């Protein structure tokens, strides 16, 4: 089952005796754990019927002994079991010895009064191992991997639904620009807007622009957009906002140049017939950045992109040589890029 299916079942209080969460997206793991605590146990049982183990410090046989011991109070217990390193291709060296035969026996015949949740925060588990195969077969397994760019809309809708608000479709791209594929950041940003509009409310573009947190990387994309739309006022406003956040002009210049280099590389790779996924792998950037660059590259010719990159480099050199004030140089650069019909390699002078 996937994350959404498991969450749906938990909210209906339909639980398995065994869960196996693996992957590096900690937000998903924490959210699933919270759902188990919320729906599997009564308030009284939460004080006495929760156990947490780290298999780098505790033997698995001790965990199984706990699972097989009937709860003293209540009818069910929850046991979180972290770091099952024996599922890795090359397990870490630890002082404890795990009896996997006992684990295998329990996986085949779990008790019905204990819920065991195995949490493996690893990029990969060794699929060839017998114990891995058995856990995936016997446990309700959820891959908690970083989300893909094409799944972001589904996540935004899901999080908005959890706060009982509606987000206008036009706002989705802005949210993704600011939060990217960081689920915790998505959750925090949507929660902030949901609190503002109230339960049953609608998050409009005006609300989103007012409340969304800004970071330098996504503002780099916005600067590119301002250059594309030739909106000098917007570009200068973004730059001034970043200065108020103590962002230095030199790294911002590097970021802007990097955005245009990516657009140029995407343009070249597109001409060679590369797919979006192949571009992401080749350039080692997030698929969302590739998607945005594909939409932006149509605005520029290859020669125009080369000239823009060259002017960014020239500006960087003059700033570092002390020939221009860096803030003024950056504003002049924005002016020249937005009025790029007259762009040439000597456009910014000392």
pLDDT per position as a tens digit, 17-65 = 999 999 988 888 998 999 999 999 888 888 789 999 999 999 999 999 9
Q: Say whether pLDDT at 312 is over 70.
A: yes
Q: In the chain, which residue ranges form alpha helices assigned H by DSSP? A: 3-11, 26-40, 60-68, 100-108, 130-138, 152-162, 169-179, 183-197, 205-211, 216-228, 232-244, 249-271, 276-283, 287-297, 302-320, 326-338
Categorize the per-residue pLDDT at 349 as very low, low, confident or very high, splitting at 50, 70 and 90. Answer: very low
Q: Which tokens belong to 240?
A: 């001034």
**CATH topology for the 216-342 domain:** Zinc Finger, Delta Prime; domain 3 (1.20.272)
Total residues belonging to the chain: 350
Contact of 168 with 204, CB cutoff 8 Å: yes
| CATH architecture, range 149-211 | Orthogonal Bundle (1.10)
In angstroms, the CA 232 to CA 119 distance is: 50
pLDDT at 347: 39
| Average pLDDT of every residue of the chain | 87
The answer for residues whose C-beta is within 8 angstroms of residue 154's C-beta and 6 or more apart is none
**Average pLDDT estimate for 93-99:** 89
Q: Say whether pLDDT at 265 is over 90.
A: yes
pLDDT in tens, 99-127: 999 999 999 999 999 999 999 999 899 99
Q: What are phi and psi of 81, to 5 degrees?
A: -120, 105
Q: Say whether pLDDT at 317 is over 60.
A: yes
Q: Say whether pLDDT at 348 is over 50.
A: no
Task: Between 55 and 182, name the one with better pLDDT.
Answer: 55
**Looking at residue 75, what DSSP letter applies?**
S
pLDDT at 74: 79
Q: Say whether pLDDT at 350 is over 50.
A: no
Neighbours of 127 (CB within 10 A): 10
pLDDT in tens, 231-248: 888 889 888 877 777 778
The CATH number of domain 3-143 is 3.40.1280.10: no
pTM exceeding the 0.85 threshold for the entire prediction: no
2-16, 119-133, 250-264, 285-299: least confident range:
285-299
Categorize the per-residue pLDDT at 15 as very low, low, confident or very high, splitting at 50, 70 and 90. Answer: very high
In angstroms, the CA 252 to CA 223 distance is: 10
End-to-end, the C-alpha distance of the chain in Å comes to 62
88-92, 133-137, 141-145, 346-350: least confident range:
346-350
What are the sequence ranges of the domains in the chain?
A: 3-143, 149-211, 216-342
In angstroms, the CA 237 to CA 331 distance is: 10
pLDDT at 341: 59
pLDDT at 272: 94
**Average pLDDT estimate for 304-323:** 91
């Amino acid at each position: 089952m996937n994350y959404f299916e498991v969450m749906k079942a938990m909210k209906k209080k339909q639980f398995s005796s065994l869960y196996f969460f693996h992957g590096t997206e900690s937000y998903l793991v924490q959210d699933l754990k919270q759902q188990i605590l919320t729906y599997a146990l009564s308030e009284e049982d939460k004080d006495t019927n929760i156990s947490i183990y780290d298999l780098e410090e505790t033997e698995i046989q001790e965990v199984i002994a706990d699972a097989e011991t009937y709860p003293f109070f209540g009818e069910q217990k929850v046991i979180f079991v972290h770091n099952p390193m024996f599922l890795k291709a090359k397990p870490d060296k630890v002082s404890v010895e795990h009896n996997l035969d006992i684990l295998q026996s329990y996986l085949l015949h779990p008790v019905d009064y204990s819920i065991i949740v195995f949490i493996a925060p690893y990029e990969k588990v060794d699929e060839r191992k017998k114990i891995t195969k058995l856990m995936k077969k016997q446990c309700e397994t959820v891959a908690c991997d970083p989300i893909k760019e094409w799944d972001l809309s589904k996540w935004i809708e899901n999080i908005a639904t959890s706060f009982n608000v509606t987000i206008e479709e036009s706002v989705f791209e802005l949210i993704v620009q600011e939060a990217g594929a960081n689920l915790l950041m998505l959750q925090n940003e949507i929660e902030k807007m949901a609190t503002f509009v109230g339960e049953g409310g609608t998050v409009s573009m005006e609300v989103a622009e007012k409340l969304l947190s800004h970071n330098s990387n996504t503002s780099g994309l916005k600067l590119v957009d301002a250059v594309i739309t030739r909106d000098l006022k917007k570009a200068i406003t973004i730059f001034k906002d970043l200065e108020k956040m103590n962002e230095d002009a030199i790294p911002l210049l590097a970021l802007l140049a990097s955005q245009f280099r990516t657009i140029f590389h995407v343009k070249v790779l597109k001409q060679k017939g590369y797919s979006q996924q192949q571009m992401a792998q080749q350039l080692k950037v997030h698929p969302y950045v590739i998607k945005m660059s594909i939409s932006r590259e149509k605005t520029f010719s290859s020669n125009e992109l080369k000239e823009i990159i060259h002017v960014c480099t020239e500006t960087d050199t003059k700033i570092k040589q002390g020939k221009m004030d860096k803030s003024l140089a950056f504003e002049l650069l924005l002016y020249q890029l937005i009025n790029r019909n007259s762009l040439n390699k000597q456009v910014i002078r000392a």
